[in-house]
Amino acid sequence: MIISHRWQFVYLGPPKTASTTLHRWLSQPAFCESRWTPERQDQHSVTIPAACRHYFTFASLRDELDRTVSLWRHSQSPGELARGWTHPMDFREFVEEFQPYASWFFRAVPAELLAPVRLDAVVRFERLERDLVNLPPLAAAIAAAVAAGRRLEPLKHLNRTRHAPWATYYTPALREQVEYRVREAGGWSL
């Protein structure tokens, strides 16, 4: 989570929705008082402090089919395999056998994580830059930075998995299983 007291916004980042990218970009001095670092444990937190509950609150979302492929690729990284996964798994094994019983990071659907939170807006992974500049508090912060002659850092997509388009990973049965899981968790309605 990123909180800007100056611009009164809260950003919530479910896993694999450009959250690392947005945490780095939104914590630059034009927006926030302190810099976010990857060592912090609050990146995916959705517990907003009481004093900030009236702030403009937004979250990032991503196509769930693409996000599932990204979660699978993330689960196969050396760091994740070192945490105790017994072996690299193919996509079918991830969806059918691993994901239903995995930790919340791999199992939870963003709509499920964000359900208890009042959201004012969402930004989509697929059109991130356009969505961000149209958020009122960010538009004001960007305008203030430009007026002061300060440069904003570019929005860099970090942790790209560089996988093929999601459709290449899915059989009809796997796609149906992921779509069912997302619908059951309240997804695609935000």
Confidence of residue 35 (pLDDT cuts 50, 70, 90): confident
| In a domain? residue 190 | no
Instruction: Return the SS3 of 114.
Output: helix
Quote the CA–CA distance of 111 and 30 in Å, as a whole number.
29
Domain count, the chain: 1
Q: What is the pLDDT of residue 165?
A: 79
Rounded mean pLDDT of the chain?
88
Instruction: Return the SS3 of 91.
Output: helix
- Per-residue pLDDT, averaged over 90-94, amounts to 93
Q: What is the pLDDT of residue 42?
A: 78
pLDDT in tens, 50-81: 999 999 999 999 999 999 999 998 888 777 66
- Describe the strand order of the beta sheet including 2-4 as a list of residue ranges: 2-4, 9-12, 56-61, 121-124
| In a domain? residue 118 | yes
CATH code assigned at 161: 3.40.50
Q: What is the pLDDT of residue 188?
A: 66
Give the range among 10-14, 70-74, 77-81, 165-169 with minimum mean pLDDT.
77-81
| In a domain? residue 169 | yes
| In a domain? residue 189 | no
What domain range includes position 139? 2-184
